Amino acid sequence: MEIIKEVKISNYKGLEDIQFPCGSINIIVGPNNTGKSSILESILMSISSLNSFEDALEIELSDILDLDDVNIKYFILQGKKKSTVEVEIFDNNIITLDILYEERGYPQEVASDFLNFINRASTQSTLDSIYHRDPRKRVRSPIYDLSREIRFLESTLEKEESRNIDSKKEEIKRMLKLMSERLESAIEEYRNELIKSEKLFLVSKLNHNLIAMHVTMDEYIGEIPVLFEKSSYNIPLIISSPKINYDISTLYKKLVNTKKLQDVLEILKNRIPYFEDIREVNGEMVVLLGDRTESLPLSFMGDGLKALLKLSFMAPLVKNGIVLFDEPEASMHLGYLNILAKEILLNSSDTQFFISTHSLELLNKILESADKSDKLESVRILRLRRLSDGFIERETLSGGEAKEEIESIETDLRGF
Amino acid sequence: MNVIICEGKNDACFLNEIMKERFNLRMHTIYYHELEKLQEMLGTNCYNFVKTKYPLIIYGDGGKANIIIALRRIVVETLGKNNDELYIILIRDDDGAPYEVLNTNLCIELQSLLRDRSKFIVHIPNIECNDDFFILTHPRSRGILKIKLKTVPSNLEKQIAKKTMEFKGLTDSKILEQLDNDPHKALELLANKYYSGDENRLIRESSILLKDETWVNEINRLVN
Q: What is the CATH number of the domain that holds A336?
A: 3.40.50.300
A258 within a domain of the structure (yes/no): no
Are A386 and A328 in the same domain? yes
A296 within a domain of the structure (yes/no): no
Mutate to test the interface with B, among A393, A394, A395 (most CBs of B within 10 A): A393
Are A47 and A172 in the same domain? no
Predicted-complex ipTM score: 0.89
Are A99 and A125 in the same domain? no
Are A72 and A214 in the same domain? yes
Portion 28-57 of B in contact with A at CB < 8 A? 33-36, 39-40, 42-46
Are A228 and A365 in the same domain? yes
Please indicate whether, in this complex, the C-beta atoms of A409 and B33 are within 8 angstroms of each other.
Answer: yes
Least confident of A46-50, A82-86, A218-222: A218-222
Check residue A127 and give its pLDDT: 61
Per DSSP, A132 falls in state T
Are A215 and A93 in the same domain? yes
Which residues of chain A does B140 touch, with a Cβ-Cβ cutoff of 8 Å? 387-389, 391, 393
Check residue A15 and give its pLDDT: 96
What average pLDDT score do residues A30-42 get?
Answer: 95
Are A208 and A347 in the same domain? yes
- Band of residue A63 on the pLDDT scale cut at 50, 70, 90: confident
Count up the domains in chain A and report the number.
2
Domain span holding position A341: 1-104+197-244+305-416
A356-372 confidence digits (pLDDT tens):
999 999 999 999 999 99
How long a stretch of residues is chain A? 416
Is residue A283 pLDDT above 90, yes or no?
Answer: no
Are A143 and A6 in the same domain? no
Check residue A140 and give its pLDDT: 54
Are A82 and A218 in the same domain? yes
A13 within a domain of the structure (yes/no): yes
A115 within a domain of the structure (yes/no): no
Is residue A314 pLDDT above 60, yes or no?
Answer: yes
Check residue B104 and give its pLDDT: 94
A2 within a domain of the structure (yes/no): yes
Check residue A128 and give its pLDDT: 58
Domains parsed from chain B with CATH numbers: 2-152 (3.40.50), 156-210 (no CATH)
Higher-pLDDT residue of A257, A22? A22
Looking at the partner chain, which of B70, B77, B119 has a beta carbon nearest the beta carbon of A415?
B77
Query: Are A24 and A15 in contact, with CB atoms under 8 Å apart?
Result: no
Mean pLDDT for back-to-back runs of 10 residues, chain B (224 residues): 94 95 92 89 92 95 85 95 95 93 94 96 92 92 95 94 91 87 93 93 94 94 91
DSSP chain B: -EEEEESSHHHHHHHHHHHHHHHTTSEEEE-SS-HHHHHHHHSTTTHHHHHHH-SEEEE--S-GGGHHHHHHHHHHHHTTTSSSEEEEEEEEE-TT--HHHHHHHHHHHHHHHHT-TTT-SSSPPEEEEETTEEEEE-TT-S-EEEEEEEEESS-HHHHHHHHHHHHHT---HHHHHHHHH-HHHHHHHHHHHHSTT-HHHHHHHHHHHHTTSHHHHHHHHH--
Higher-pLDDT residue of A91, A13? A13
Are A374 and A407 in the same domain? yes
Are A183 and A217 in the same domain? no
DSSP A48-85: HGGGTTB-TT--BHHHHHTTTTS-GGGGB-TT-SEEEE
A46-60, A272-286, B76-90 — most confident range: B76-90
Check residue A130 and give its pLDDT: 59
Is residue A19 pLDDT above 70, yes or no?
Answer: yes
A388 within a domain of the structure (yes/no): yes
Looking at A162, A195, A228, the residue that finishes a domain is: A195
A379-412 confidence digits (pLDDT tens):
999 999 999 999 999 999 999 999 999 988 888 9
Q: Three-state DSSP class for A109? A: helix
The reply to whether A405 touches chain B by the CB within 8 Å rule is yes
A179 within a domain of the structure (yes/no): yes
Query: Are B83 and B141 in contact, with CB atoms under 8 Å apart?
Result: yes
What average pLDDT score do residues A43-64 get?
Answer: 85
Are A238 and A361 in the same domain? yes
- Percent of chain A past pLDDT 90, that is, above it, reads 45
Higher-pLDDT residue of A230, A386? A386
Please indicate whether, in this complex, the C-beta atoms of B39 and A415 are within 8 angstroms of each other.
Answer: yes
A322 within a domain of the structure (yes/no): yes
Residue A396: closest C-alpha in chain B = B118
